[in-house]
């Protein structure tokens, strides 16, 4: 330690500090706590990593939390099915209920398949996880991108449908539906950036309110139907769809495709098994059966009653609104209760997208297929970047498709059913492996029933694969083509990203690396425009790096150069000065040429550092009055090997 011009007292303090900080090889410094700012006001105080909450849910509450997404589909699936049938007139409309029955059969098959996933993956078995563990990276990335498109469209559709319910009750809001949808989306984003805990309180009340209102509506509807009081729809919406198309098999398949949106969200529970109270697999499986049962019964009931009243699908009033006002005799309190419950559960359903999209991008990011930054948790412990990405894309979709559920649905279910298929296919492989003794962690040691379980999952996979194809073909021209093109493109991008990370990891790896060559010689170059106090500060710094310092002056004006030379003789302390004549008045180019010249003549293990003085002015606008040499130099030299540009900021005060 050198003796500086300090009082003895201060010097001792300095020594004490050094003892504390520097004699240990490794030490731990006390922690940092963020200060409040405008972000605190908007998002709440920062949460420590250790604060990450973990709660377990009972079955009833879990049904509310995980069921909101699936159950909310009652609000749009029947409508979207009838939209297609309406285009072929009254006869076609009669096919609504039979198609609904087929969809409920499909729901049963999918539910049985996922029952097995829950038992096999007690740690949570989303399509991405199951596909990655059983089918490899490519299938996993296809499942991942399919799920990502699914979540984005879930957010866009659920919000649009929620706003459509509100607009049904208050038709004067119709022109503002896009703005309302985007505003609502931003509010949900903000809530999720603050961190919405999937707590029972938040979900249980609205979900059970919705279930109650729907059961009351369907119950009252059947009561009136059987007593002959459920009359045909009065006062139908003005923008009703007119019968213009013939009734064909293709049309029925299109209606079926739209109806399959009822199945979206069914897989949620298999993803969140860890959130259940013990015995968790048992409880999760039970809850899923209840959820699917409720969904199936209500879906059938609503579809039947819509047929009975002869509902008229339209953009300006949802069929749920039509059913409710026919059942409750007008827009009264019971009607408004039904609309409110439907709207709220749709908004809760959006939250599934906000919970799962960022989690999935983080997982894919950690696996190195998306930018790693997505796995970074923000100040509120949520994956902020994923939340913002989801919001941006969903908002774009809402704006482009004018918040129309009918326009958005054709983009949706392809992703859902592709992920279903890959998940079930993965499970089929899983059972096959168990049957052939290739057991994996998390699976029961030797499952005798592996063969029948494999058959169930294989059947599920085939069914959902067939639905995927039906959907992609029948809705291709309506918008499914976007997804059919998008998923492979996204997968390609993910693979390119993964290759970059892999290659980089290999290049940066220390395995099989001998000690890299040591720096033996360090040449320091200091470009100078004039000789002033800032130059001396820069020169002093340069001399502290290495004894081999060269100052370089680019000569544009001869008189100025002469002044620099004379001043250098006085102040340059014998450091050699190279003067480069620049007859074309360029500064950067001749300097760079000189540096590259020297660089070519370097020894092995020789490093070069360009030290540039940079005035830091008092006010930001003063920067306009000075050239930003260091910035351009760094930019020009960034790609040169073993050349470092150091900016020495000097503040004058």
For residues 36 and 45, give the distance between their C-alpha atoms in angstroms, rounded to a whole number.
Answer: 7
Residue 353 beta carbon to a second copy: minimum distance, rounded to whole angstroms? 24
Shortest distance in whole angstroms from residue 2 CB to a second copy: 4
Asked if residues 355 and 65 have their Cβ atoms less than 8 Å apart, the reply is no
Tell me which residue of 393, 352, 360, 284 sits closest to 131, measured CA to CA. Answer: 360
Please, what is the minimum distance in Å from the beta carbon of residue 512 to a second copy? Answer: 11
Nearer to a second copy, 484 or 577 (CB): 577
**Dihedral of alpha carbons 418, 424, 430, 432, sign:** negative
Residue 274 CB, shortest distance to a second copy, in Å, is 20
Please, which residue, 469 or 616, has the CB nearer to a second copy?
Answer: 616
580, two tokens = 């480069």
Nearest approach, Cβ of residue 552 and a second copy (Å): 9
Minimum separation from the CB atom of position 641 to a second copy (A): 6
For a second copy, the closer of residues 35 and 477 by Cβ is 35
Tokens 């030797």, located at residue:
446
- Which residues have a Cβ under 8 Å from the Cβ of 287 and sit 6 or more positions away? 59, 62, 63, 66, 67, 269, 276
- 196-199 long-range contacts, Cβ below 8 Å, gap at least 24? 196/351, 196/354, 196/355, 197/53, 197/55, 198/65, 198/275, 198/351, 198/355, 199/55
Q: Is 204 or 554 the residue whose CB approaches a second copy more closely? A: 554
Using CA atoms, how far apart are residues 527 and 552, in angstroms rounded to an integer? Answer: 5
Q: Which is nearer to a second copy, 27 or 278 (CB)?
A: 27
Q: Which is nearer to a second copy, 20 or 235 (CB)?
A: 20
Measured at the alpha carbon of residue 144, what is the angle toward residues 138 and 150, in degrees to the nearest 5? Answer: 140
Instruction: Calculate ∠ Cα 205-209-214, nearest 5°.
Output: 155
Name the burial class of residue 301, with classes exposed (0-12), middle (13-18) and buried (19+) by CB atoms within 10 angstroms of its CB: buried
| Tokens, residue 353 | 């997208």
Q: Which is nearer to a second copy, 148 or 284 (CB)?
A: 148
Distance CA 386, CA 399 (A): 20
CB of 429 to a second copy, least distance (A): 30
> 227 or 601: whose CB is closer to a second copy?
601
Minimum distance, C-beta of residue 625 to a second copy, in the bound complex (Å) = 5
Smallest gap from Cβ 504 to a second copy, in A, equals 7
Which of residues 33 and 242 has its CB atom nearest to a second copy in the complex?
Answer: 33
- Pairing relationship of beta strands 521-527 and 606-616 according to DSSP bridges: parallel
């Amino acid at each position: 330690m050198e003796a500086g011009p300090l009082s003895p007292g201060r010097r001792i303090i300095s020594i004490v500090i050094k003892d504390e900080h520097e004699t240990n090889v490794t030490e731990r410094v006390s922690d940092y706590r963020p200060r409040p700012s405008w972000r605190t006001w908007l998002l709440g105080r920062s949460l420590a990593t250790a604060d990450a909450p973990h709660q377990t849910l009972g079955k009833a509450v879990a049904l509310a939390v995980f069921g909101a997404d699936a159950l909310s589909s009652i609000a749009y699936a029947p409508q979207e099915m009838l939209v297609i049938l309406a285009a072929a007139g009254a006869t076609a409309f009669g096919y609504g209920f039979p198609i609904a029955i087929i969809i409920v059969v499909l729901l049963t098959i999918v539910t049985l398949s996922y029952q097995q996933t829950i038992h096999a993956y007690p740690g949570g078995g989303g399509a991405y996880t199951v596909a990655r563990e059983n089918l490899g990276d490519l299938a996993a990335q296809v499942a991942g991108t399919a799920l990502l498109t699914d979540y984005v469209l879930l957010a866009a559709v659920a919000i649009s449908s929620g706003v459509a319910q509100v607009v049904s009750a208050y038709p004067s809001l119709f022109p503002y539906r896009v703005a309302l949808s985007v505003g609502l989306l931003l509010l949900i984003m903000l809530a999720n950036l603050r961190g919405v805990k999937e707590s029972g309180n938040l979900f249980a009340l609205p979900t059970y309110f919705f279930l109650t209102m729907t059961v009351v509506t369907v119950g009252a509807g059947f009561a009136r139907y059987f007593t002959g009081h459920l009359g045909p729809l009065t006062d139908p919406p003005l923008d009703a769809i007119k019968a213009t198309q013939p009734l064909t098999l293709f049309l029925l398949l299109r209606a079926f495709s739209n109806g399959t949106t009822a199945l979206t969200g069914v897989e949620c529970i298999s993803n969140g098994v860890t959130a259940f109270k013990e015995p968790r697999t048992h409880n999760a499986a039970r809850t899923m059966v209840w959820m699917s049962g409720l969904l199936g019964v209500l879906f059938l009931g609503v579809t039947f009653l819509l047929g009975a009243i002869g509902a008229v699908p339209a953009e300006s009033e949802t069929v749920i609104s039509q059913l409710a006002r026919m059942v409750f005799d007008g827009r009264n309190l019971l009607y408004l209760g039904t609309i409110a419950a439907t709207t709220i559960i749709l908004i809760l359903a959006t939250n599934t997208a906000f919970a799962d999209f960022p989690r999935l991008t983080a997982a894919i990011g950690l696996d190195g297929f998306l930018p790693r930054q997505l796995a970074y948790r923000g100040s509120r412990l949520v994956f902020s970047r994923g939340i913002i990405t989801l919001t941006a894309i969903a908002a774009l979709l809402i704006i482009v498709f004018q918040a129309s559920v009918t326009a958005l649905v054709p983009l949706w279910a392809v992703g859902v059913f592709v992920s279903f298929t890959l998940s079930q296919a993965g499970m089929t492989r899983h059972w096959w492996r168990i049957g052939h003794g290739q057991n994996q962690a998390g699976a029961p040691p030797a499952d005798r029933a592996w063969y029948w379980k494999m058959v169930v999952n294989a059947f599920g996979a085939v069914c959902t694969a067939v639905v995927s194809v039906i959907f992609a073909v029948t809705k291709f021209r309506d918008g499914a083509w976007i997804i059919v093109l998008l998923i492979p493109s996204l997968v390609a991008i993910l693979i390119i990203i993964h290759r970059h990370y892999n290659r980089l990891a290999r290049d940066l790896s220390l395995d099989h690396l001998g000690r890299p060559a040591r720096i033996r010689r360090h040449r320091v170059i200091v470009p100078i425009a004039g000789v002033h106090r800032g130059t001396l500060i820069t020169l002093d710094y340069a001399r502290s790096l290495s004894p081999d310092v060269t100052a370089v002056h680019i000569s544009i004006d001869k008189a100025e150069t002469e002044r620099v030379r004379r001043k250098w003789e006085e102040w340059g302390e014998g450091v050699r000065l190279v003067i480069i004549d620049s007859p074309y008045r360029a500064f950067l180019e001749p300097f760079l040429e000189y540096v590259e010249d020297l660089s070519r003549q370097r020894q092995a293990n020789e490093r070069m550092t360009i030290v540039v003085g940079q005035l830091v002015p008092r006010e930001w606008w003063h920067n306009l009055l000075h050239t930003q040499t260091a910035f351009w130099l760094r930019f020009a030299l960034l790609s040169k090997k073993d050349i470092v540009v150091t900016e020495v900021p000097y503040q004058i005060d």
